[in-house]
Chain A
């Protein structure tokens, strides 16, 4: 038995799926080039001097890309299992635990893909951060994408179709907008956005850069701050909501059988 072969082949299958790769890799990279590189305000340093605005934008868009990867892979894994491929796998030596482990590795590698790509684009263009912050924000970005695996799983369990999982990944653009990922929000949108799922995870990934300060456009500079504990509560609550959704859907499914 060779689980690495399985992981490599399944990874390649997902990577060459254009629908997946477009939202996971192409779209975030393009968004970064638009919002994080080509506009002139990106050269400005952040008020606390840890990096420039491009770095701030880069992290937000990388979180969006990584979250899209985990959503889409966890969701399609759930659909796969329910559409009968799980029965085929149940006739092999691979246990359910190994399946979950293998899919987690695939999802994390896929989540790291847009992060590495966007960071490389940033590195070779205008993005500035201290070396330690390049590393810590990248790690936190991949970590922040993990709760979205539960979101994808929930959608996969609920709708059992690849189209629904695709729509759920697509809907992340809205979460990304409200989560402050693409360009700085202010006023009412920011107040609403703070309660949406991607906000806490994005702010956590940016924490090494901002120390929790909320950046705004123009001259207003910092418009407030998010203490770390509030971000952690936001992440915990949303993770719990998705996890409970998964458990309820799973028990509904088992009861029917």
Chain B
């Protein structure tokens, strides 16, 4: 059993506001992260991802609960250069150039990767003398990424790192991330791009309204919600369709019948052996559906809350 690199135990944080006078941004969250783990924290806006990240970075203090990072307080982990982070709302100074920005932050760290190496890693060389205020959103994210790599951290935390990037920039970003993460760095990233969690994180933590509603290997989180879709071409009557086992729901469009099921094997076996259905495809449900499935029902029904 390896020792956890981050331990969060019963952490809550609330702000004034909301119907009960307090809005619980983070509600009794307990999580541990092991060295080298790559984890996605997934959730819609307002799920509490940024507040949780701020608490891990010591930028915000929990109302209750404890948090240990690299065996000490978050602030201590930051001060010793143990954590590097790309902040979603962290601003850059618009009138510094890209290179100056990296230099000025490097000067404030106890130890850092050489500035030229970081510039290379984050792909900043061709824009090094451009003022940050004149950089595109994606370029600014790359500058922030360079700042996250700078302290040579054990833990890298990325809060919506690819916000404002187009698809190809996002892929390029994650390729760079993968290249730097091989050295056993623990990576924690918040995102609302489901495919980023699916492609880059072995573990996914789903958050909704301040709570962790699912946590596990990304594949499992996806299947936890049930789910796969089995589609076939089938000239079937309503009673034919209703006799298919293990079906949660279905829809019919012409001869195309689509079943949603927790047991795709059983459905596929039945369809292929007992009926005339053909052209079968089986597709696991997306993380988004898993997400919708896991959100307690009352939140999905408008006005019930």
- Tell me whether A85 and B93 are in contact (CB under 8 A): yes
Which A residues are CB-close (under 8 A) to B78?
A: 90-93
Residue of A nearest to B15 (CB): A257
- Tell me whether A5 and B103 are in contact (CB under 8 A): yes
Bound together, the chains give a CA A17 to CA B109 distance in angstroms of 26
Residue of B nearest to A95 (CB): B79
User: C-beta contact mask, B71-108 vs A, less than 8 Å → 1, else 0?
Assistant: 00000001111011101011111011000100111011
Partner of A256, one of B16, B83, B84, B93: B16
Q: Contacts A2-B107, A87-B87, A257-B15: A93 and B95 contacting too (C-beta < 8 A)?
A: no
- Tell me whether A93 and B87 are in contact (CB under 8 A): no
- Tell me whether B110 and A88 are in contact (CB under 8 A): no
Bound together, the chains give a CA A2 to CA B57 distance in angstroms of 22
Chain A interface, >50% SS class: helix
With most chain B CB atoms within 10 A of its CB, the pick from A2, A80, A87, A256 is: A87
A84 contacts B by Cβ under 8 Å: yes
Q: Contacts A13-B96, A17-B95: A93 and B107 contacting too (C-beta < 8 A)?
A: no
Q: Contacts A13-B96, A91-B78, A91-B83: A84 and B107 contacting too (C-beta < 8 A)?
A: no
B207 contacts A by Cβ under 8 Å: no
Bound together, the chains give a CA A3 to CA B83 distance in angstroms of 20
Bound together, the chains give a CA A9 to CA B93 distance in angstroms of 12
Partner of A84, one of B16, B83, B90: B90
Bound together, the chains give a CA A6 to CA B58 distance in angstroms of 22
Count of A interface residues, CB-CB < 8 Å: 24
Q: How far is the CB of A216 from chain B (nearest CB, A)?
A: 44
Which A residues are CB-close (under 8 A) to B92?
A: 84-85, 88
A247 contacts B by Cβ under 8 Å: no
With most chain B CB atoms within 10 A of its CB, the pick from A6, A88, A89, A91 is: A91
B169 contacts A by Cβ under 8 Å: no
User: C-beta contact mask, B270-285 vs A, less than 8 Å → 1, else 0?
Assistant: 0000000000000000
With most chain A CB atoms within 10 A of its CB, the pick from B79, B91, B95, B103 is: B91
Which B residues are CB-close (under 8 A) to A3?
A: 107-108
A125 contacts B by Cβ under 8 Å: no
Which A residues are CB-close (under 8 A) to B79?
A: 93
Which A residues are CB-close (under 8 A) to B163?
A: none
Chain B interface, >50% SS class: loop
With most chain A CB atoms within 10 A of its CB, the pick from B85, B92, B104, B110 is: B104
A188 contacts B by Cβ under 8 Å: no
Within 8 A of B (CB), among A43-100: 80, 83-85, 87-94
Residue of A nearest to B153 (CB): A91
- Tell me whether A93 and B81 are in contact (CB under 8 A): yes
Q: Contacts A93-B81, A256-B16, A257-B15: A87 and B100 contacting too (C-beta < 8 A)?
A: no
Bound together, the chains give a CA A136 to CA B79 distance in angstroms of 42
With most chain B CB atoms within 10 A of its CB, the pick from A5, A9, A85, A88 is: A88
Bound together, the chains give a CA A83 to CA B90 distance in angstroms of 8
Q: How far is the CB of A228 from chain B (nearest CB, A)?
A: 42
B287 contacts A by Cβ under 8 Å: no
- Tell me whether B105 and A84 are in contact (CB under 8 A): no
What residues make up the interface of B, taking CB atoms closer than 8 Å to A? 15-16, 57-59, 78-81, 83-85, 87, 89-93, 95-96, 100, 103-105, 107-110, 147
Closest 7 A/B residue pairs (Cβ) = A84-B91, A92-B108, A5-B107, A87-B90, A94-B108, A88-B90, A83-B91
Given A88-B105, A91-B147, output 8 extra A-B contacts at Cβ < 8 Å.
Answer: A2-B107, A5-B103, A9-B103, A87-B59, A91-B85, A92-B109, A93-B79, A93-B110
Give 11 A-B contacts (CB < 8 Å), ordered by A residue: A1-B107, A3-B108, A10-B104, A85-B92, A87-B59, A90-B58, A91-B59, A92-B78, A92-B109, A93-B79, A93-B80
What residues make up the interface of A, taking CB atoms closer than 8 Å to B? 1-3, 5-6, 9-10, 13, 17, 80, 83-85, 87-94, 255-257
